[in-house]
Amino acid sequence: MTRLVLNVAAFLMFIALVILAQAPDGAAPAFKGPDAVAANLVNIACASCHSLDRVKNKVADKDG
Ligand code: HEC
């Protein structure tokens, strides 16, 4: 029984490693900290079309 549990655990670890290995080389590092969720969302949603420099460099007043 213990052996079965260990085998299942090892299998799940292997699957997790395979999934992690799928990340593309150029993937931006995941953000950490209190704004991590928003930062990751922007990174995923917005960086698919243009770099985030475009977002960071945008300067406008409230109306803009
Ligand atoms: C479907 C593609 C696409 C996605 C997704 C996208 N953008 Fe853009 N974005 C563009 C294009 C194209 C331009 C250039 C528009 C232009 O120059 O008129 C642009 C320009 C911008 C600009 C500059 C606008 C300006 O007035 O200078 C900002 C800021 C920006 N995007 C922010 C974002 C943010 C924030 C997100 C995510 C919520 C996002 N974009 C997602 C295509 C996209």
Per-residue pLDDT of the chain (64 residues; tens, 9 = 90+): 677 766 666 666 655 665 566 655 555 567 788 888 888 888 889 888 998 888 888 899 999 8
pTM for the model stands at: 0.63
pLDDT of 41: 87
One-character DSSP codes across 16-60 = HHHHHHTS-TTPPPPP-STTHHHHHHHHHHHTTTS-HHHHHT---
| Cβ(54) – ligand 1 distance below 6 Å | yes
- Alpha carbon of 54 to ligand 1 centroid (Å): 7
Q: How far is the CA of 31 from the centre of ligand 1 (A)?
A: 21
Burial (Cβ within 10 Å: 0-12, 13-18, ≥19) of residue 18: exposed
In one-letter notation, the amino acid at residue 24 is: P
Atom nearest to 48 CA in ligand 1: 5
| Ligand 1 and 55: CB distance under 6 A | yes
Domain limits, the chain = 2-56
